[in-house]
């Protein structure tokens, strides 16, 4: 055999698997990476700062079809063990006020450099430009075929760890190949959709607001019912909506059947509806001659105020004193519940992660070894687990990668 353990994919979970395998036993470990270097996607995480993990690792921050198995995997690498893993690699971590963890350097490149150094320290052989096209069970292990810069090639290994990612951000290495390889071996997969992605909406009112940011509250409504609410900075764009709250809601919004999803924005979350209505009546009494195009001066961004007025069907040339109490009430309601119909997302190219993937029930929760193909392990984004913004997808990468790497190495030691 060329290797004891061969890892397909040199992203976050693949590198973690290599380090964990090498720390568990003295074995020959190889990594086959499709791109010209490993860890490219890691460099853009956390806006280039790498949001490594989160102080709150509650299971409700993770999603997918096999949460009992996912919980068991995540429990194998709790927060203190995650911090210890990176301390071993020489990465000092600090937390921000929201509980998000970053390298002290605030550079994603330092995390990637540490993982690459850790893999090199255990003797991992990294081969870039290798696109794996097939995995076949042979006597004593596996035979992998690949396209390389030098032409077609084949590799053999006693154990294989599939860490080839999902379908998000294909230019950074995740093109769905991991899911295809696993389904070719008999595993079943849930449909994949983009997650943590900007939303396309009806642009009647977002396009005039392009570039405006508000501190607000976004609520996802499915078939008219509230599904989830997130607060923070919301960005209006020419295609729809963005910003952390919208990204958090995107998973469920994208997966909803067409026409079912709406995003409702609360533009003044600190004030209840009754108080907003009272303020508008007070403004009207003080400034009855003020034209509606300037009515929200001092309260809301000028363009936002004008757009809200238009959304209520009120001419901007009207004066405040000309409005009826019912019109003021409608304006107050629009401020607190400004709705946008979701038409889709900006797609895989802009998605941070993948919802869906290979079903977890095909793998052991104790080892992540395949129940269908002994000796084959899987980790990372190819599996049907995705997390919220805030370091949760990387935590899944670390936990699943470390478990798969350690388990594969222990299995090799026993033989």
pLDDT in tens, 59-98: 999 999 999 999 999 999 999 999 999 999 999 999 999 9
Tell me: the pLDDT tens digits for 138-169? 999 999 999 999 999 999 999 999 999 999 99
| 8 Å CB contact between 230 and 245 | yes
Work out the pLDDT band at 366, boundaries 50, 70, 90.
Answer: very high
Q: 392-414 vs 79-89: helix axis angle to the nearest 10? A: 80
Work out the pLDDT band at 414, boundaries 50, 70, 90.
Answer: confident
Please tell me whether residues 184 and 327 are part of one structural domain: no
Which residues are within 8 A (CB) of 112 and not within 5 positions of it... i.e. 6 or more apart?
38, 39, 42, 43, 50
Which residues are within 8 A (CB) of 93 and not within 5 positions of it... i.e. 6 or more apart?
52, 53, 83, 86, 87, 101, 102, 103, 104
For residue 30, pLDDT beyond 70: yes
CATH number at residue 156: 3.50.50.60
Work out the pLDDT band at 175, boundaries 50, 70, 90.
Answer: confident
Q: What percent of the chain has pLDDT over 90?
A: 95
The H or E element that residue 128 is part of is strand 125-128
Structure tokens at 130: 């290798």
Please tell me whether residues 203 and 318 are part of one structural domain: yes
Please tell me whether residues 283 and 221 are part of one structural domain: yes
In this prediction, residue 82 carries a pLDDT of 98
Which residues are within 8 A (CB) of 319 and not within 5 positions of it... i.e. 6 or more apart?
288, 289, 290, 291, 292
User: Which of 7, 105, 10, 124 has the alpha carbon at shortest distance from 52?
Assistant: 105
Q: Does this model's pTM top 0.85?
A: yes
In this prediction, residue 328 carries a pLDDT of 97
CA pair distance 342, 346, nearest whole angstrom: 11
Please tell me whether residues 398 and 302 are part of one structural domain: no
CA pair distance 230, 218, nearest whole angstrom: 5
Work out the pLDDT band at 241, boundaries 50, 70, 90.
Answer: very high
Domain endpoint, select from 324, 346, 368: 346
In this prediction, residue 257 carries a pLDDT of 73
User: Which of 217, 214, 332, 338 has the alpha carbon at shortest distance from 275?
Assistant: 332
Please tell me whether residues 60 and 155 are part of one structural domain: yes
For residue 116, pLDDT beyond 90: yes
Domain endpoint, select from 318, 346, 374: 346
Burial profile 255-286: b = 16 or more Cβ within 10 angstroms, e = fewer: bbeeebbbbbbbbbeebeeeebbebbbebbee
Mean pLDDT within 330-351 = 97
Burial profile 383-413: b = 16 or more Cβ within 10 angstroms, e = fewer: bbbbbbbbbbbbbbbbbbbbbbbbbbbebbe
CA pair distance 391, 399, nearest whole angstrom: 12
Q: Which residue segment(s) compose the domain that 325 sits in?
A: 198-346
Please tell me whether residues 62 and 173 are part of one structural domain: yes
DSSP E strand stretches across 188-224: 189-195, 199-201, 213-222
| 8 Å CB contact between 128 and 10 | yes
For residue 130, pLDDT beyond 70: yes
Return mean pLDDT, the chain.
Answer: 96
Please tell me whether residues 126 and 169 are part of one structural domain: yes
Mean pLDDT within 14-30 = 98
Please tell me whether residues 298 and 226 are part of one structural domain: yes
Mean pLDDT within 242-267 = 93
CA pair distance 266, 268, nearest whole angstrom: 6
Please tell me the total count of domains within the chain. 2
For residue 25, pLDDT beyond 70: yes
Work out the pLDDT band at 173, boundaries 50, 70, 90.
Answer: confident
Through-space distance between the first and last CA atoms of the chain, rounded to whole angstroms: 14
Poorest-pLDDT segment among 30-34, 54-58, 114-118, 411-415: 411-415
Mean pLDDT within 208-221 = 97
CA pair distance 184, 366, nearest whole angstrom: 24
Largest CA distance in the chain: 87
User: Which of 14, 389, 398, 386 has the alpha carbon at shortest distance from 193?
Assistant: 386
Please tell me whether residues 165 and 223 are part of one structural domain: no
DSSP 370: B
Please tell me whether residues 286 and 362 are part of one structural domain: no
Please tell me whether residues 151 and 261 are part of one structural domain: no
Please tell me whether residues 155 and 260 are part of one structural domain: no
What residues form DSSP beta bridges with 167?
A: none
Tell me: the pLDDT tens digits for 291-324? 999 999 999 999 999 999 999 999 999 999 999 9
Domain endpoint, select from 346, 367, 389: 346
Work out the pLDDT band at 258, boundaries 50, 70, 90.
Answer: low
């Amino acid at each position: 055999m060329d290797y004891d353990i061969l890892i397909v994919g040199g992203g976050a979970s693949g590198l973690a698997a290599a380090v964990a395998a090498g720390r568990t036993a003295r074995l020959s470990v190889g990594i086959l990476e499709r791109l010209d270097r490993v860890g490219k996607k890691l460099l853009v995480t956390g806006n280039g700062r790498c949001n490594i993990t989160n102080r709150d690792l509650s299971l409700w921050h993770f999603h997918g079809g096999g949460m009992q198995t996912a919980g068991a995997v995540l429990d194998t690498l709790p927060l203190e063990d995650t911090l210890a893993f990176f301390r071993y690699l020489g990465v000092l971590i600090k937390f921000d006020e929201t509980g998000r963890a970053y390298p002290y350097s605030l550079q994603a490149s330092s995390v990637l450099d540490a993982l690459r150094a850790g893999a090199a320290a255990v003797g991992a052989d990294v081969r870039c430009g290798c696109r794996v096209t097939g995995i076949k069970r042979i006597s004593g292990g596996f035979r992998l075929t690949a396209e390389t810069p030098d032409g077609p090639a084949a590799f053999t290994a006693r154990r294989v760890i599939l860490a080839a990612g999902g379908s998000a951000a294909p230019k950074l290495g995740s093109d769905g190949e991991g899911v295809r390889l696993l389904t070719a071996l008999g595993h079943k997969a849930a449909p994949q959709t983009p997650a943590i992605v900007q939303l396309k909406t009806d642009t009647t009112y977002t396009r005039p607001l392009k570039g405006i940011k508000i501190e607000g509250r976004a609520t996802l409504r499915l078939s008219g019912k509230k599904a989830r609410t997130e607060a923070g900075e919301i960005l209006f764009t020419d295609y729809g909506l963005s910003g952390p709250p919208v990204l958090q809601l995107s998973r469920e919004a994208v997966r909803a059947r067409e026409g079912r999803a709406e995003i409702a924005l609360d533009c003044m979350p600190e004030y209840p509806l009754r108080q907003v209505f009272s303020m508008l009546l007070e403004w009207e009494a003080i400034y009855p001659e003020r034209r509606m195009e300037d009515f929200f001066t001092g309260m809301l961004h000028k363009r936002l105020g004008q757009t809200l007025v238009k959304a209520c069907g009120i001419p901007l040339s009207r004066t405040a004193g000309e409005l009826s109490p019912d019109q003021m009430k409608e304006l107050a309601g629009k401020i607190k519940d400004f709705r946008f119909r979701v038409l889709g997302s900006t797609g895989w190219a802009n998605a941070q992660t993948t919802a869906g993937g290979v079903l977890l029930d095909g793998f052991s929760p104790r080892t992540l070894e395949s129940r269908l193909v002994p000796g084959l392990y899987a980790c990372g984004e190819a599996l049907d687990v995705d997390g919220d913004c805030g370091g949760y997808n990387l935590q899944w990468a670390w936990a699943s990668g470390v478990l798969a790497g350690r388990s594969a190495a222990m299995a090799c030691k026993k033989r």
